[in-house]
Amino acid sequence: MRAIDLIAFNLKLIERQRLRSAMLLAAIAISVMAINLLTGIGEGGKQFVLAEFNLLGKNVLIMLPGKKETTGGIPPLTGEATRDLTLRDAEAIARLGNVSAVAPLIAGKMEISHGQLSREAFTMGSNRAFFDIRQLEVAQGKALPQLPFEQSQAVCVIGSKLRKELFGPKPALGQWLRAGDSRFRVIGILKDKGEGLGFDMNEAIIVPVANAQALFNQEGLFRVFIELRSLDGLQKSQQRIVALLKERHEGEEDVTIITQDSLLSAFENILNTLTLAVAGIAGISMLVAGILIMNVSLIAVSQRTREIGLLKALGCPARTVALIFLSEACIMALSGALIGIFISEALLYVARGLYPTIPFTTPLWAQLGSALIATVTALLFAAIPARKAANMAPVDALLDKKAGQA
């Protein structure tokens, strides 16, 4: 039998048994969709995290106040400390051997206004090194000037979106902004860059760290970014920084240091769990679809006994009879998989619209893999009914009294 005739023969069958076919297609489509959707979400999350941390170099450490007691899991992004991290701590770290740059950070929301226009914006206090470490580029004007940590200067760099909202089409460089009780002159506009580490830099305003301390009336630093000269001594430098801070904080170890690697491995754990969940869900739904296929095929074999007898009488060998049943399952599985992939792609498209910063995409291997799993499952579960059909004695099949007469 030719492949094209086999497909045509099966399509007529599928078309005639619409309800049965629709049920099977739905079962396969749902399981394939589950695999693709979950892989797409997982992959999106992974890419998102990777993109975030690739903004930082591998040689950048992030220090947070507070010590997380338990090991493993995600390090605390908002630590609670009994003792603040101060600018003096940052200065001490900057003097260490392998440290090439230190950027302290104080951050919070603040009302920013220019003339009649005002809006709440993410306000960060830092220094020149922050621009290099976070790879922030300035589209117009210049970055914050090189200043000693404790020296304030009434200048600011703002994000492109904030500029648009406060100044509209008018030039912003050299203009004055009001933030809280202070006034700042705009010296630079950031290049459009999108989010990083959860902040939308386009809506941010960056001022010298000393000014921010005054603005928020707060000594303690939110974070300290530490850039190392080389990756070689990463472990050792980390220990030296901790030791230094312990010494400065009266023997108490109350800071947490995050490296890119530690964060990524924490996310890796989450992603592995997610992968296991995907496998579990896929397995269960495939099993359900498979059993459904087997039952439906068994019913089909007993309903079509006379037809099988006829095919055999017409000189159709046993393996062609088996092929007819197997290829039907195969067609169902592939069409179901296509529908499932299509639906999951549509849903991920919607998700990308809702969360533009997270790249939800199902990798090709997941799409091909899920289609393959569906096909293999269908073939496995259709094998028993197909063999039953193929092994029927032609006489018995022809004389089957159960079926109606054609």
Partner 1 sequence: MIELQQLCRSFQVGDQCVHALDHLDLKIARGEYLSVMGPSGSGKSTLLNMLGLLDKPSAGEYWLNQTATSQLNEEALATLRRQYIGFVFQSYHLIPRLTARENIELPLILAGIAPKQRRPLVDKVITRLALTDRASHAPNQLSGGQRQRVAIGRAIVMKPELLLADEPTGNLDSVSGREVIELLEELNDEGITLLVVTHDQAIGDRARRELKMIDGRIASDSANQTISSIGS
Q: Which of 314, 353, 364, 402 is in the footprint of partner 1 by CB under 8 A?
A: 314
Q: How far is the CB of 326 from partner 1 (least distance, A)?
A: 16
- CB 389 to partner 1: min, Å: 13
Smallest gap from Cβ 402 to partner 1, in A, equals 13
- Provide, rounded to whole angstroms, the least separation between the CB of residue 323 and partner 1: 11
Distance CA 102, CA 178 (A): 28
Contact between 318 and partner 1 per CB under 8 A: yes
Give the whole-angstrom CA distance, residue 110 versus residue 120: 5
Q: Which of residues 320-339 bind partner 1 (CB under 8 A)?
A: 320
Q: Please choose, from the candidates 289, 291, 358, 392, the residue with its C-alpha nearest in 3D space to the C-alpha of residue 29.
A: 289
Which among 209-217, 233-241, 345-353, 390-398 is the span making contact with partner 1, rule CB under 8 A? 390-398
DSSP 35-73: HHHHHHHHHHHHHHHHHHHHSS-TTEEEEEES---S-SS
Q: Which of residues 2-21 bind partner 1 (CB under 8 A)?
A: 2, 4-5, 9, 12-13, 16
Q: Which of 123, 306, 341, 367 binds partner 1 (CB under 8 A)?
A: 306
163 touches partner 1 by CB under 8 A: no
The Cα 157–Cα 193 span in angstroms is 14
DSSP state of 203: G
Round to whole Å and give the CA distance between 366 and 32: 9
Q: For partner 1, which residue of 312, 325, 362, 373 counts as binding (CB under 8 A)?
A: 312
Question: Does 305 sit near partner 1 (CB under 8 A)?
Answer: no
Both tokens of 85, joined, read: 């991290």
| Total site size for partner 1, rule CB under 8 A | 28
- According to CB under 8 A, which one of 109, 317, 346, 365 is a site residue for partner 1? 317
Q: What share of the chain is helix, strand, coil (3-state, %, to 5)?
A: 55, 20, 30
**CA angle in degrees (0–180, nearest 5) for 111-115-120:** 15
Q: Tell me: does residue 307 bind partner 1 (CB under 8 A).
A: yes
Judged by CB under 8 A, the residue of 58, 142, 236, 319 near partner 1 is 319
Minimum CB distance to partner 1 smaller for 18 or for 95: 18
Residue 78 DSSP label = S
- Max Cα–Cα distance, the chain, nearest Å: 101
Distance between CA atoms of residues 106 and 209, nearest Å: 7
Site for partner 1, rule CB under 8 A: 1-2, 4-5, 9, 12-13, 16, 306-307, 309-320, 393-395, 398, 405-406
